[in-house]
Amino acid sequence: MAMYEVIHTPVGRLFVGASDEGLHLIKFLDQRDSKGELIADLEVAAGETALRGGTAIEEPVRQLGEYFAGKLHSFDLPLAPKGTEFQLSVWQALRAIPSGVTTNYGAIASAIGKPTASRAVGAANGRNPISIVVPCHRVIGSNGTLTGYGGGLDRKAWLLNHETTKRS
């Protein structure tokens, strides 16, 4: 059964969607016109009807709460993103970036064995369906500046600052 929850965080409301298969979706609610579109995305990803609440969503919500409280620095959740083989390899590489550390698109491209694919890595990074848990916010420009983030650069800056200052 696909399940979702809407949680309030310091960076806005998040839509969190999961099923028994794993976590499918974390999106900022203002990234879409309506929660209904995100429910439809979850239903497509999970292949089943989505209901609010339930056991599959409890652990992701708990871990996100601990992350925002500064008590959790690494997520331990089964993930079930849908994407191409290339996208999945990029998203897996993103999960290897430690909390509080940044890298760039070229380094991710090299890490997945495609050293000339930094633009394609950027595109895959932008299509990451599981924000925060798959930490696309930790990827910055090669010159050290913050670059695009689907949730907005202010959120990206907040998340990076949170990870470097909220160590407990």
The alpha carbon of residue 80 and the mean position of all alpha carbons in its chain are separated, in whole angstroms, by 12
Looking at the fold, whether 58 and 22 belong to one and the same domain comes out as yes
d(CA 111, CA 164): 23
Report the pLDDT value the prediction gives residue 30, as an integer from 0 to 100: 77
Distance CA 149, CA 154 (A): 9
pLDDT, tens only, 79-133: 999 999 999 999 999 999 999 999 999 999 999 999 999 999 999 999 999 999 9
Q: Examine the fold and report which residue of 39, 68, 97 is the final residue of a domain before the chain moves on.
A: 68
* 136 in active site: yes
Residue after which a domain boundary falls, among 43, 68, 93? 68
pLDDT at 46: 86
pLDDT above 90: percentage of residues in the chain: 75
* Same domain, residue pair 106 and 138: yes
Rounded Cα distance between 23 and 130, Å, is: 8
10 three-class SS: coil
Query: Catalytic pick from 46, 136, 139, 160?
Result: 136
User: Which residue range(s) make up the domain with 10?
Assistant: 2-68
Q: What is the CATH number of the domain that holds 34?
A: 3.30.160
Q: What is the pLDDT of residues 156-166, one digit of tens each?
A: 999 999 999 86
Mean pLDDT within 36-55: 87
Please tell me whether residues 14 and 39 are part of one structural domain: yes
User: pLDDT band at 73, cuts 50/70/90?
Assistant: very high
Quick one: pLDDT at residue 167?
A: 58
Residue 168, pLDDT above cutoff 70: no
pLDDT for residue 35 is more than 80: no
Provide the mean pLDDT of the chain. Answer: 91
The pLDDT value given to residue 33: 56
Q: Are residues 92 and 154 in the same domain?
A: yes
Contact between 2 and 18 (Cβ < 8 Å) = yes
Q: What is the CATH number of the domain that holds 136?
A: 1.10.10.10
In a domain, 78, yes or no: no
Residue finishing a domain among 13, 42, 68: 68
pLDDT of amino acid 22: 96
Residue 42: pLDDT band (50, 70, 90) is: confident
Domain match, 43 and 105 both: no
Q: Is residue 74 part of a domain?
A: no
